[in-house]
Amino acid sequence: MSNFYLNRRALLGLALTSALPVGSVWAAGQPLPVVASFSILQDLTRQVGGELVSVSALVGPDGDAHVFEPTPQQARQLQQAKVLVSNGLDFEGWLPRLKKAAGFKGQEIVASQGIAVRALPKGHDHGHDHGADKAGHDLDHDHDHGHGHNHGPNDPHAWQDVKNAIVYVRNIAKGLATADPANAAQYDKQATQYIARLTALDASLRQRFAAVPAARRTVVSTHDAFGYFAQAYGLRFVPVRGLSTESEPSARDMAALVKQVREARIGAIFLENISDPRLLEQLSRETGAAIGGRLYSDALSPATGPAATYIDMVETNATTLLKALQPG
């Protein structure tokens, strides 16, 4: 599987480019050059910045930020950017090294700053007995490796709660205004308009999920990315052991998953756009739990897909979940 860190070729590319004049290619009247770490932040920044910004994403649509290798071209892009928008909460484990290699000296916006951070569930806290010590140990190890290990103790997927996305947008507006003070009023205005749409979306989600009967609120998905969503909208996403975006479970892991899904009486299993669907398809076959559809966790869809913007992503996820969870 891919290397978690900046590879040798990328570093070589940087060594070559760092001999070039570092430079401010941004001239007044030109869009502010911004780099966002992944597609969701790219959209939020575009919503706030509009035509005043030109935003590229390091990890694009359907991309998995957990196993990302920056290219030399992306390092150069960051070198020339005036603003970097990151999630923080150790989501982008590769970013500190990339920033250093690129010699990034612009304004950094850590979008999650100020949100109420959710702790990741620990590998040992699942409350399911997996029998043999060895099996249990291996499953825990895989779980930690997939998320906990890369992410640290905090759940980074804070954007899945729309109220947190509003905090992200405020942070982004503030950071853009600092980097480009001449347009501060416009950033503020565009952020306010966008926040009004997010506020309406959040209210609509609360109302629609409140109507789901309590007994039908438990679902499974590939990696534990919906903790904030579950907390905000009253669902229960079972943290499935042994599944991550990086590793494939063994037959033994799979047997434990089948047991877990049966015991928890899970009504529907959801695929994610960044993960291999085959595992959950197998799990569905073996447990009889229906595949409820595809959820967008850590990345938007391409422009032609159903989740090309943050708002479309949340709407699409909500519609997919509600369709599977409503009785009859």
Which residues of the shown chain bind Zn ion in the complex (CB under 5 A)?
225, 298
CA atoms within 13 A on the CB side of 127: 5
Query: In terms of CB distance, is 171 or 244 closer to Zn ion?
Result: 244
Query: Which CB sits closer to Zn ion, 49 or 227?
Result: 227
d(CA 144, CA 164): 25
As measured in angstroms, the least distance from the Cβ of 219 to Zn ion is: 16
DSSP string of 135-184, one letter each residue: HHHHHHHHHIIIIIHHHTTB---GGGSHHHHHHHHHHHHHHHHHH-GGGH
For residue 222, give both structure tokens: 């590939």
Minimum CB–partner distance for residue 63 and Zn ion (Å): 11
Nearer to Zn ion, 32 or 44 (CB): 44
Nearer to Zn ion by Cβ, of 202 and 246: the residue is: 246
Q: How far is the CB of 212 from Zn ion (least distance, A)?
A: 24
Question: Could you tell me the CA-to-CA distances from 232 to 102, 117, 118 in Å, in that order?
Answer: 37, 13, 11
Q: How far is the CB of 265 from Zn ion (least distance, A)?
A: 26
The secondary structure element, H or E, covering residue 67 is none
* Closer residue to Zn ion, CB minimum distance, 266 or 299: 299
- Is the CB of 245 or the CB of 309 nearer to Zn ion? 245
| Shortest distance in whole angstroms from residue 310 CB to Zn ion | 16
Please report how close the Cβ of residue 157 comes to Zn ion at its closest, in angstroms.
6
Judge whether 52 and 26 are in contact, CB under 8 Å: no
